[in-house]
Structure 1
Amino acid sequence: MSSLQTSALIAFLAGGVLAVFLVVPYVAWSYRRRGELGIGHAVLAGAFLVYLMALWTYTLVPVPDTTAQWCAQHATSTPQLRPLQFVTDIRREQRGTGVAALLHNPALQQFVFNVALFVPLGMFGRHLLRRGVPTVLALGVLASLLIELTQFTAVWGLFRCPYRIFDVDDLLANGVGTAVGVVMAPVLRLLPAQAVSEEPEEPRPVTAWRRLLGMMLDLLSVALLGWTAQVVIRTIGIYGYGKPFDWNASPAIGTLLPAVLLLLLVPLFGDGGTFGQRVVLLAPVDPGGSKPSVLRILVRFLTGTGGFFVLVFLDATAAGAVLAVVSVVLVWRTGDHRGLSGLVTGTRFVDVRAGARARVSS
């Protein structure tokens, strides 16, 4: 596998991992800023994450073994500060004549690559981030300068010596690439499902996809909170007590406690919705249109996503899987997408903005 392929693979993997941690805040931001998620916008946001990881991998990876011997033979701390030096390099590296020979010129390929690397930044900055042209161009220059300084300082002193060269022509190429991206930004409008259907404050219908998204966010949030708690406690155990924490002694830390916090306590002390439901601006109401009672919230917890985590905690994973499948099917099959917990408790879902608008109008 070539270095470029390795960098691409790392970018996709790192972008995917980062997306898992950022999906909840992104969905919350999207529903409050745009009023809805929008698959096209989400795809662009994910692509932007992968691109940011690609900037890191293509400019800093692979990392050599910077031993003293390697540094003595390969490293250089002398920056290349002569503008347009790449023109001289192209002439020096040219072998033969004609377009084919020029396209195989390594110096030209390097310059074109540096231009192309920053074209997406101009496109995303202009279309996705909706920044003005001067701001996007400044962002491209600052990002390029940060990369060059990181290379010049051996990743800010983390390595024994610099393994990439600070090159002023890279700043020029990256700036040109950003400008090209600004011009090409309208191409991103061709991706469908980006426009919002209503103003952000307008209520949206309670759809099956929205309900399932809330359920998915509940599962992910509980898993991430449990994992974070385990990492923190394990770190305290290793560095504070000299030994890792025994997870078998308290498996509730990774499953039951986060589920109770996000799926039971949040509804009890909030508007009745779980953490994931609040992210997508949904809330359950009783037949009278009010917040469900404590008993209804407890039953909703046990017959919904909370019940899944309780069964997993009790080592009844198969029963938990059955509960999850039944819940998903009923979200699709029930006319108002209330799901199993809604059918059992007689509750349904409303868009929280509908209540807010009613209070304002009254």
Structure 2
Amino acid sequence: MSSRLMPAVIAVILGTALAVALFVPYVARQYRRRGKLGVGHAGLAFASLVYGFGLLAYVLLPFPTVTPGFCADASGPQLVPLNFLRDMQREATGTGMSAVLGNPALTQVLLNVALFVPLGMFVRHLFGRGVLTTALIGLGTSLLIELTQGTGIWFLYPCPYRLFDVDDLLMNGLGALAGALAAPALRAVPGQREVGEPGAPRPVNRRRRLLASLCDLMIYHFSAALLSAFCTVAVYAAHTGLFSADARLAPDLPGYQTAQVVGIVAPWVVLYLVLPLVGGASSLGQRAVRLRVVGDGRRPGAGARLARGLLGTGGYVLLQQLGQVPGLPDAAGYATLLGLVSVIGIVTTARRRGVSCALTRLHVIDAREPLTEPAPTPPTSTVTQ
């Protein structure tokens, strides 16, 4: 892989990983701030993450190898403003506009401006900052990058492997300013328009119900991955030490298999047994998209709350994990079947009730709708004869 392509690939991989990790919090924030999830806004937010990692990758990578003569060619900082004009004169190879535009020094300057244009656009459009504030943020970001380069990544290297250049600082700031001025163009991206007040109830549609299920699955798998990693590290530390060469033998360590089981089972118990009993029938994914599961005018009973979770995402996750147990391969097929039935139920049932709610006699409403209490039963009068 070429040195120019590698930073872009790294940026896409890391940006995607961070987007997955932040997906549920982002969805929850959008539903509370905007009333819904805008596809266009989500796309721009994802692009900003990839751009941020790309910016870091292009200014820091590739990391050099420290050799005995590593610092022999290291140069000091360039602190003369507009020194690139002298560089242009020195590297000029002809006359006319084509020679000027092809000058390597000018090309470097234009790249430094263009590199920070997206930063200015994203900061102003996504975070609502003014033009001056956005330009200052761009200038501060550039200063941080230049200091990182000028200190050899904050003294991790014995000397800088890239030059601190005040012209880069000025051109990056100019690029951020240009991006801030061009930011209104991002309004043309579809899927960003806000309709109605964020606090007003919205219809319970297919996309919203499916998004809630996706959030539930992501919450479980992310929690299980984190807990499994923590338990594995604990096993390493207890038996071999974190940096021991024997750590590669982790599957053979006492307690390793138990740690993996705990990492898988504990999140399921919390999400699909404890929370339904303590926190109500609505799952965390449903709460993220501001949905509420209710009974006929009253809070669902404990049995209905548990059954709803086990017939929905909780049952799917349980069967999926059981399918990985030796001797229970058919469970994975049942998980797929339950998943298909659940999706079809969301798409076809009235008011997107879904199979699990229909079987437990529950309903899904917008969390911003006021709850209707059942009418009180009139007291029975006793007639004395």
Pick the TM interval, shorter chain: over 0.9
Note if 1:148 corresponds to 2:146.
yes
Distance 1:111 1:272 in 2: 58
Contact between 2:228 and 2:259, CA under 8 Å: does it hold in 1? no
Corresponding residue number in structure 2 for 1:95: 93
Q: Deviations over 1:257-282 (max 9, x none)?
A: 21221233223222321111111111
TM-score by length of 1: 0.93
Corresponding residue number in structure 1 for 2:220: 222
Corresponding residue number in structure 1 for 2:67: 67
Corresponding residue number in structure 2 for 1:50: 50
Q: Deviations over 1:233-287 (max 9, x none)?
A: 111221233154655335433333212212332232223211111111111111x
Unaligned runs of 5+ in 1: none
Corresponding residue number in structure 1 for 2:238: 240
Distance 1:302 1:169 in 2: 61
Task: Give the AA of the match of 1:295.
Answer: G
Task: Give the AA of the match of 2:281.
Answer: G
Note if 1:295 corresponds to 2:288.
no
Distance 1:14 1:82 in 2: 36
Corresponding residue number in structure 1 for 2:290: 281
> How many pairs align?
355
Task: Give the AA of the match of 2:293.
Answer: P
Distance 1:90 1:289 in 2: 76
Q: Deviations over 1:302-356 (max 9, x none)?
A: 1111001111232221111111111112111112112121121121111111128
Contact between 1:148 and 1:166, CA under 8 Å: does it hold in 2? yes
Distance 1:277 1:22 in 2: 16
Task: Give the AA of the match of 2:342.
Answer: S
The 1:262–1:325 alpha-carbon spacing in structure 2 relative to 1, beyond 3 Å, is same
Unaligned runs of 5+ in 2: 241-246, 324-330, 374-385
SS of the counterpart of 1:69?
A: coil
SS of the counterpart of 1:70?
A: coil
Moved more, 172-181 or 246-255: 246-255
SS of the counterpart of 1:165?
A: coil
Distance 1:345 1:64 in 2: 62
Contact between 1:256 and 1:313, CA under 8 Å: does it hold in 2? no
Contact between 2:276 and 2:302, CA under 8 Å: does it hold in 1? no
Task: Give the AA of the match of 1:345.
Answer: T
Task: Give the AA of the match of 1:255.
Answer: I
Give the superposed CA RMSD: 1.8
Note if 1:265 corresponds to 2:274.
yes
Corresponding residue number in structure 2 for 1:139: 137
Moved more, 333-342 or 265-274: 265-274
Task: Give the AA of the match of 1:353.
Answer: R
Q: Deviations over 1:136-186 (max 9, x none)?
A: 111111101110011111111223332111110011001100111011011
Note if 1:337 corresponds to 2:352.
yes
Q: Following superposition of structure 1 onto structure 2, how do residues 115-134 of structure 1 map, counting pairs within 5 Å?
A: 115-134=113-132
Q: Following superposition of structure 1 onto structure 2, how do residues 204-223 of structure 1 map, counting pairs within 5 Å?
A: 204-223=202-221
Moved more, 62-71 or 14-23: 62-71
Corresponding residue number in structure 1 for 2:381: none
SS of the counterpart of 1:283?
A: strand
Task: Give the AA of the match of 1:87.
Answer: L
Contact between 1:251 and 1:313, CA under 8 Å: does it hold in 2? no
Q: Which has the larger radius of gyration?
A: 2
Distance 2:166 2:208 in 1: 49
Corresponding residue number in structure 2 for 1:256: 265
Note if 1:310 corresponds to 2:325.
no
Structure with higher helix content: 1
Distance 2:260 2:355 in 1: 27
Task: Give the AA of the match of 1:164.
Answer: R
SS of the counterpart of 2:293?
A: strand
Moved more, 246-255 or 339-348: 246-255
Distance 1:70 1:230 in 2: 41
